[in-house]
Amino acid sequence: MNLLGIETSCDETAIAIVKDGTHELAHCLSSQIKWHKQFGGVVPELASRMHVEKIHVLLNQVLDQAQLTLADIDGIAVTQGPGLEGSLLVGMAMAKALATILEKPLVGVHHVLAHVYSAYLNDRAPVFPYIAAIVSGGHTELILLRDHRHFERIGKTRDDAAGEAFDKVARLLGLPYPGGPEIEKAGLSGSETRFKLPLPLISEGFDFSFSGLKTAVLHLVQTLQSEGPLPVADIAASFQYTVGEILGRKTLKACQAHGISQVVFCGGVSANQSLRRQISTLLSHAGIETFVPPIRLSTDNASMIAARGYFQFQDFGANDPSSLLVRPSWPLCS
Ligand code: KG4
Ligand code: ZN
C-alpha cells in the first residue's frame, strides 16, 4: 500500500510516499526556518502562507522522485494535530481534496505519536511492547506502547521540553536557532565533564524538568563571562551530556519498572549523535536495545506521518473526509 504522507503542522512543509508503513519511496521537505529566524520564532500567518506556496510544488516533486503518478497512490495520511491551526489546515485541505478526487482512504495522524513511527523507517524496527522517548522542541514524553492501538504516557516534562532547553541554552551561548544542532557542533571539541550541572528530578518518578538545568547554565554563563572569553565548547558539551544523563537514566528506570527491553529514541533531539551513543550505551549495559530513526527523519518529516498512517489504517480504517477536522491542541494521551 503506497501512502502519501502530508506534514504541515509547524514550519516545515513535507510530503512523502511510504510503502507498507516501512519503506520510504520518496520524501520532499521545504523548511521555512530562514524566514522565521529574522522574527526570532515561528510567525503563524507567514507559516500558513508558505505552506500554501510550497505544497503543490512538493507534491509534484515527490511523485517525480518516486517515479509514480497519483494513480499509484493508495491512500492519504495527514497531520491532524497538534500544531498551528492555519498551517494544519493547508495540509488537511490538500489531503481531503486528493482523497476525494482519487477516491482513496484518508487518515488523520497525531504528529507526536508519528515521531515514534520514524523508527519503523530504519533497518531494524522495534517489537511491542516498548517504551518511546519522544524528545522534541515541544515534547519530552515517555510512552509505553503495547501495540499500535494501546499506549499510555508514563512520563513527561513538567516545564521546558528538552529541545526547547537546547534552543534556550544555545541563545545563552550566542549560537543561532535552532540550537540543538549548534550545541552538538560546538560540543564536539568540548569537555563533557568540565562543568557539573544539576540533574533535576533524577530520583523522583518518570517526569522530567529542564528549566532548572537551563537556569543553572544561565548562572554559569554569567559567572564565566566576568572572567574572560566564554568556554562555549565545554559548556555545550557539559550541558548536552547532562541532558543525556537525565534522558537515559529516566528511560532506564521506566524500562525496569515496566519490564521493557526495547526503547525508541525519537523526535528532533534524537538527531544528536552524541546523545544517541550516550543513551544507547547506558541502556545496553542493562540489556535494553535502543532503536532510532534515520537521522534526517528525527526532525519533523512526512514519512513518519505516512508510516503511522499505514498502521493506523490497518487497525482502525479510514476517516471520513467530510468530518475530519484539524486538532491544534490534540493531547497525545488524555
Ligand atoms: O521534532 P522536531 O523537529 O520538531 C518538533 O516537533 O518540536 O524537534 C525540533 C527540536 C528543536 O528544539 C531542535 O533544537 C532540536 O529538536 N534538535 C536537536 C538536534 N537537531 C534538532 N537537539 C539536539 N541535537 C540535535 N542535533
Ligand atoms: Zn515534531
Q: pLDDT class for 37, splitting at 50, 70, 90? A: confident
pTM for this predicted structure? 0.97
Confidence at residue 41, expressed as pLDDT on a 0 to 100 scale: 78
312 lines ligand 1 (CB under 6 A): no
Atom 7 of ligand 1, residue of closest alpha carbon = 137
Confidence at residue 42, expressed as pLDDT on a 0 to 100 scale: 87
Distance CA 66, CA 21 (A): 15
Average pLDDT over residues 105-129: 98
181 lines ligand 1 (CB under 6 A): yes
Give the strand pairing for 130-135 and 140-145: antiparallel
Nearest ligand 1 atom to alpha carbon 299: 3
pLDDT, tens digit, for every residue of 250-288? 999 999 999 999 999 999 999 999 999 999 999 999 999
Distance CA 258, CA 144 (A): 9
Beta bridge partners of 24: 18
Confidence at residue 178, expressed as pLDDT on a 0 to 100 scale: 85
Give residues whose Cβ lies within 5 Å of ion ligand 2. Answer: 136, 300
Beta bridge partners of 78: 6, 108
Distance CA 131, CA 251 (A): 8
Confidence at residue 89, expressed as pLDDT on a 0 to 100 scale: 98
Which string of DSSP letters, residue by residue, matches 78-97? Answer: EEEESS-HHHHHHHHHHHHH
Q: 229 CA to middle of ligand 2, Å?
A: 35
79 lines ligand 1 (CB under 6 A): no
The 10 Å Cβ neighbour count of residue 319 is 23
297 lines ligand 1 (CB under 6 A): no
Q: 111 CA to middle of ligand 2, Å?
A: 6
Query: Range(s) for CATH 3.30.420.40 in the chain?
Result: 2-116+298-316, 127-292
- Any idea which fold 2-116+298-316 has? Nucleotidyltransferase; domain 5 (3.30.420)
Confidence at residue 38, expressed as pLDDT on a 0 to 100 scale: 83
Confidence at residue 114, expressed as pLDDT on a 0 to 100 scale: 98
Give the CATH class of 127-292. alpha beta
Report cis status (omega within 30 of 0) of the bond before 105: no
Atom 19 of ligand 1, residue of closest alpha carbon = 180
Confidence at residue 40, expressed as pLDDT on a 0 to 100 scale: 72
pLDDT, tens digit, for every residue of 167-192? 999 999 999 888 999 999 999 999 99
pLDDT, tens digit, for every residue of 44-85? 999 999 999 999 999 999 999 999 999 999 999 999 999 999
Distance CA 170, CA 269 (A): 14
User: Residue 238: which of 222, 256, 221, 254 has the closest Cα?
Assistant: 221
Give the strand pairing for 130-135 and 106-110: unpaired
Contacts of 273 (CB under 8 A, 6+ apart): 184, 295
Atom 14 of ligand 1, residue of closest alpha carbon = 180
DSSP for residue 132: E
* In the chain, alpha helices (H): 33-37, 44-66, 85-102, 111-117, 162-172, 179-187, 211-225, 232-258, 273-284, 303-316
Mean pLDDT, the chain, integer? 97
24 lines ligand 1 (CB under 6 A): no
**Which of 13, 118, 269 has the most ligand 1 atoms within 8 A of CB, as the residue to mutate?**
269
**Is residue 7 pLDDT above 80, yes or no?**
yes
